[in-house]
Amino acid sequence: MAESGSAKPSTMKSYFWRSRDTLKVPMSLFRDNRERLVSRLRANSEVSAAGTFVVLQGGEDVPFNDTDINWPFRQESFFQWCFGAEEPGCYGALDLAAGTSILFVPRLPAEYAVWQGKLYTLDDFKKRYAVDEARYTDEIARVLKEKRAHLLLTLSGRNSDSGLLAREAVFDGIAEFKVNNSILYPEICECRVIKSPGEIEVLRYVCKISSDAHKVVMRTVRPGMVEYQAEAAFCHHVYSTGGCRHVSYTCICGSGHNSSILHYGHAGAPNSKVMQDGDMCLFDLGGNYCGYAADITCSFPINGKFTEDQKLIYNAVLKARDAVIAAAKPGVAWTDMHLLANRVMLTSLKAGGLLVGDVEDMIKAGLNEIFQPHGLGHLLGLDVHDVGGYLSCHPERSKEPGLRKLRTARTLLAGMVLTVEPGCYFVDCLLDAALANPDQAKFLVAEQLKRFRGFGGVRIEDDVLITETGVENLTFVPRT
């Protein structure tokens, strides 16, 4: 919890910092988040502020199977957004009437100091995390009773990307209170969708560190190296230089045909191929700092020289990205941006001789989903696929080809941070299905497509902030 290994409680500062040149993140960022949430809930006609408390439960240490070793801890994202606490086993409460905050921390045994270090006082935690009070987790029910809590707002909602439920707070004595678990989730999600100036600074930092790491990877890799060496180079830079102990998702380091596998790098395919001269590389890598995620993809030939076919596909994707960057602004529907990217890319493939016919007819037939079987991008923040994509008060997921894969269909607002990641892939099973479908096969030049079997794919992914007038690109990597 201290800012460095030599810090003492008397010198503890109220910020997250990994020393040296890494970003100091003031705890006021999380205080401001709490204030935004309280203001939003006070404006909700279903809520009476008097006697109403938000109660959130933080993440727990997770054992590795049945052993006494734990997975590296990462704080639960809603709790991180509200409190920024680094320790597991915490709870937090917000008093809507008073606008005050309480951080509940575990009461640790004295033996803890032997194995894990100095035991900090409640006052230490109060100062460290800039909360109004710090108490122990075994006191939650008693403290809430003392404060005349009547209604507890707890978190319960289904993540539209994973399909999993958010963790609802449970503690000894909760049955003594009235609990509502439907109001909080959409309100806190809406708060997380629009980034505060403080959050934007953290995202700028982690995107810059991740961009620099991508450039290190580009300078490092060469034919004969193994994909995981690219992963190692990225992870080393974001941690050693940027203080990013975690990456935001499993590193994707696909080369050759592997660059057409959208979530390559998983346990069954752990970035283990030797990269060959002439391979196209697709490296999708993002660091994580203070819980905030970057998500950047670079595609380039391993030997540094594009073939004519590689140039055709890369430029088709780049034009799609450029079109979206130029058009995105508040008031524009994300679905329209996706279709714009599809339209530009298919037009380039047609000009390159791979397709024939009318581009609009191709989209109607679902050909856009054959070459780009994923959405244009997603909200980005404390989660790489951040919350708020599909809430009840916003457009539902489309059932149309291409659009049905989008992680959000929202209209853009200033303060949103999203990825823009058009891609073009040659996936055998999708090409085979398209060639067997008369409605799609009529657009395909089968003889030309043969030479792209095994090509892999190209994705260009930038992290962008929607401003009042357009887009600020937070990504700084070579694209041309």
pLDDT in tens, 129-145: 999 999 999 999 999 99
Q: With contact defined as beta carbons under 8 Å apart, do 247 and 288 qualify?
A: yes
Choose the catalytic residue: 128, 192, 378, 410. 378
Cα distances (angstroms) measured from residue 318 to each of 265, 286, 424, 461 = 24, 20, 10, 10
Is the pLDDT at 1 greater than 70, yes or no? no
Q: With contact defined as beta carbons under 8 Å apart, do 420 and 261 qualify?
A: no
Beta-carbon contacts of residue 145 (< 8 Å; ≥ 6 apart): 176
Domain ranges for the chain: 15-193, 197-473
Is position 295 annotated as part of the catalytic site? yes
Rounded distance between C-alpha atoms, residue 161 and residue 397, angstroms: 11
Choose the catalytic residue: 86, 87, 199, 295. 295
Mean pLDDT of the chain: 96
pLDDT for 181 equals 97
Beta-carbon contacts of residue 146 (< 8 Å; ≥ 6 apart): none
What's the maximum distance between 2 C-alpha atoms anywhere in the chain? 77
Q: With contact defined as beta carbons under 8 Å apart, do 365 and 444 qualify?
A: no
Choose the catalytic residue: 263, 266, 404, 453. 263
Q: The tokens of 174 are what? A: 């909760």
pLDDT in tens, 144-159: 999 999 999 999 999 9
Is position 378 annotated as part of the catalytic site? yes
Determine the average pLDDT of the residues in 348-375: 98
CATH 1.10.3720.10 fits 15-193, yes or no: no
At residue 8 the predicted structure's pLDDT band, cuts being 50, 70 and 90, is very low
Is position 68 annotated as part of the catalytic site? yes
pLDDT in tens, 152-186: 999 999 999 999 999 999 999 999 999 999 999 99
Instruction: Please list the residues that pair with 425 across neighbouring strands.
Output: 457
Is position 385 annotated as part of the catalytic site? yes
Q: With contact defined as beta carbons under 8 Å apart, do 342 and 480 qualify?
A: no
Is the pLDDT at 4 greater than 90, yes or no? no
Determine the average pLDDT of the residues in 59-88: 97
Closest to 406 measured CA to CA, from 334, 463, 460:
334
Q: What superfamily does domain 197-473 belong to in CATH?
A: Creatinase/methionine aminopeptidase superfamily (3.90.230.10)
Determine the average pLDDT of the residues in 268-279: 98
Choose the catalytic residue: 385, 386, 390, 462. 385
Choose the catalytic residue: 95, 227, 284, 386. 284
Is the pLDDT at 278 greater than 60, yes or no? yes
pLDDT for 12 equals 59
Rounded distance between C-alpha atoms, residue 326 and residue 131, angstroms: 42
Is the pLDDT at 369 greater than 70, yes or no? yes
Q: What angle do CA 313, 231, 223 make, to 5 degrees?
A: 60
Q: What is the 8-class DSSP label of residue 298?
A: E
Is position 421 annotated as part of the catalytic site? yes
Is position 425 annotated as part of the catalytic site? yes
Choose the catalytic residue: 292, 459, 462, 463. 459
Is the pLDDT at 245 greater than 70, yes or no? yes
pLDDT for 13 equals 74
pLDDT for 5 equals 39
- What SS3 state is found at 247? strand
